[in-house]
Structure 1
Amino acid sequence: MWDWLTSSTNSTKMAGQSAAAKLSFKILGWCMIVFGGLCGVLALIFTVVKNPRTAFKKTPRDVPPKCLQDSSLGSHEYVRANGIKFHYVCAGDKSKPLMLFLHGFPEFWFSWRYQMNEFSKDFRVVAIDMRGYGETERPPNKLDYTFSKLKQDIVELVPALGYSKCTLVSHDWGGVVAWRVLSRYPELIERFIVMNCPHPKVYAMKLAKDWKQLFMSWYIFMFQIPKLPELIISMNDFETMKGMFINGTKNPDNFPPEVLKAYLYTFAQPGALTAAINYYRCMFKTEKSKATDTTPPPKKIEVPCLVIWGDDDTALSHDMADMHEAVVANLTVKHIPNCSHWVQQDAPETVNQYMSEFLADSIASR
């Protein structure tokens, strides 16, 4: 189960660990799943006891809210890549370079609304619904959401959109996928921007020094359990999801009722939550590398990288942002104090400023 982590730790204290040590990690992993499951069950019981009459009621959500139809954000289009149909929203001149946005969990293309408006004058901005999210097709099987498939989605999307490379902007789970694309296919990426998502090796380095991060991400292990996470998140008319954005942000004015309606509408659709959570359920799946992936990635990433970090992230320790010098040669790090995990929506002006500064020389050189 822990192969995804131990395979990323060649430069850490975990390198060359014995079979006994690896077994210990596997046991720890199963213990964390049990712990996460117990936390989930307790949350479920608490919700039922607190709201016995409404715990399992849901508001019908058949019509998308008006903000999702806002033409000023861009046009809605579709493209096929890696065997499925992707939905995306785009704006800007097609002759401009591509800026591709990859969202996190539980989000969709709409989380990039502030950045799309800002950068459509200099780029062809494209915000996709990732595999299984929003209006993108939802493959039915859990194993349709492995790292290799998610990575290949992006590798094929860039040429499917008519480009040979892009400026890749990512957050959270979008960053998890984006780091892997960058490591294996750097020729696809001109500039790389990632928000509140560490490189896999950085995450492993953090765990080697401080296992507190493991417990900060307890929900990952709870998500391994079938059906329970979907039930918890959707109970009491998606109270948990509402709390993620209302209580989990430092700037709740950026999450008004209409925006919350957009998120609830999106994840209330059949199969939406399961598809999104399947990303987590496939995290520990070990896959044989394809022939195209047999070449080891470079020791350090050469593509210019900007790491933006909302320092009040409750799931990811902010000191990981500064640890990327171990894996990135051309690195810029920007911290945003008093900012949550939902950084591009919580502090959009600051995020846009840091992105603009990072991209200024490449824009000026055209």
Structure 2
Amino acid sequence: MLKSSLRRIYLSTDVELDCCVIGDPSNQPIIFLHGFPESHRTWRHQLLALSENYYCIAPDQRGYRGSSKPTDVNAYTADQLTADVFALADALDVENFTIAGHDWGGAIAWSVALNGQAGGLSPQWAGRVTRAMIANAPHPCIYQRAIVNDPIQRASAQYIRFFRDSASDAIIAKGGLLPLLQRVWGWQKPEAMDAYEYGELLAGWEDRDAAVAMLNWYRASNITVPLIGAAADVPKWAAGAFPKLNIPTLLVWAMEDKALSPSNIEGIEELVPNIHIERVANCGHFVTWEKPDAVIAALEKFLA
């Protein structure tokens, strides 16, 4: 069903995105953003469950799969990825929406929410985002602080330094993304992913241009990752006062995530006063399909 719902959508940001659009357009819209190294299918269980009552929109984001893949690293800065989301809403005649994101999609969802909440950072978008739902994607300010101050999180983030290294491109040129992930993470087929979905994932990783574009998200990011044990200060943008996100926000957090320490949710209430945290035990990073029922239940309760 999800394959038949894919549409090619041209955005005013001069990119084209393949987008899963499912549900009645008269219902409340939700825009779902996937993370690295996946696609809109990250949300496959939630899309099918929620589309009965909501208008569900899930793009393959810039650089992924069949969507546009600009070659310039600077085409993947957070402001441009954020603009894609509002441009997608415009293209589908959606004014106000709930934003949802996992992993890198969650990072952009934080940005979309901060810019699009009532009184948000960007006047042209302010008031368009009514709620936010984030799955295993840390608040950018807290994440940057944790990378500097939490030795566990700093160690877990070292892969970012490798992704930013041009040596990664040579590995991709020979074999696509899979050999790189095997080298960095010892990647193997996840037990919770069936053979069909894994085949879909691997097929997307074969595209060398897409693989490099995925890494460009990391290369364009302003997140600083010091070497393990190196003296470092929290960058100025994350060290001081940071704008609060005031809209209702759900944070689903899988507690066995090896890449993201639970320290990323400590003190988040100060930055997101209207937050509900749903902790998912015995689950790794890919919570949307490792524990789909838990995520669906949390989303349905939050949306209700």
Unaligned runs of 5+ residues in structure 2 are 118-126, 225-240
CA distance in 1, matches of 2:177, 2:71: 24
Shift of 1:225: 1.0
Structure 1 position 191 matched with structure 2 position 121: no
Deviates more, 1:333-342 or 1:322-331: 322-331
Structure 1 position 166 matched with structure 2 position 97: yes
The aligned counterpart of 2:88 is 157
CA distance in 1, matches of 2:2, 2:211: 28
Given candidates 252, 257, 260, the residue that maps to 1:308 is 252
Given candidates 79, 95, 100, the residue that maps to 2:9 is 79
Select the structure with the greater relative contact order (CA < 8 A; seq sep ≥ 6): 1
Deviations along 1:226-281, one digit per CA (max 9) or x if unpaired, are 142561697599356579697585xx1x3122111100111212401000000001
The aligned counterpart of 1:216 is 156
Unaligned runs of 5+ residues in structure 1 are 1-70, 287-296, 361-366
Given candidates 231, 252, 266, the residue that maps to 2:171 is 231
Structure 1 position 102 matched with structure 2 position 33: yes
**C-alpha spacing 1:141/1:359, structure 2 compared with 1 (3 Å):** same
Judge conservation of contact 1:230–1:273 (CA < 8 Å) in 2.
no
Shift of 1:300: 2.0
CA distance in 1, matches of 2:65, 2:100: 19
Q: Within 5 Å, which residues of 2 pair with 1:67-146? A: 71=1, 74-81=4-11, 82-146=13-77
Higher helix share: 1
Structure 1 position 283 matched with structure 2 position 234: no
Shift of 1:322: 3.9
Shift of 1:206: 2.4
Code of the residue aligned with 1:194 in structure 2: it is I
Judge conservation of contact 1:173–1:197 (CA < 8 Å) in 2.
yes
Question: What is the identity percentage for the equivalent residue pairs of Structure 1 and Structure 2?
Answer: 27
Given candidates 242, 262, 265, the residue that maps to 2:200 is 262
* TM-score when normalising by structure 2: 0.84
Deviations along 1:156-179, one digit per CA (max 9) or x if unpaired, are 211211111111110010111111
Structure 1 position 334 matched with structure 2 position 278: yes
Q: In the comparison of the two structures, how many residue pairs are matched?
A: 277
CA distance in 2, matches of 1:145, 1:219: 19
Shift of 1:99: 0.9
CA distance in 2, matches of 1:130, 1:245: 25
Shift of 1:204: 3.0
Code of the residue aligned with 1:116 in structure 2: it is L
**C-alpha spacing 1:229/1:327, structure 2 compared with 1 (3 Å):** farther
Judge conservation of contact 1:183–1:298 (CA < 8 Å) in 2.
no
CA distance in 2, matches of 1:178, 1:233: 31
* TM-score when normalising by structure 1: 0.70
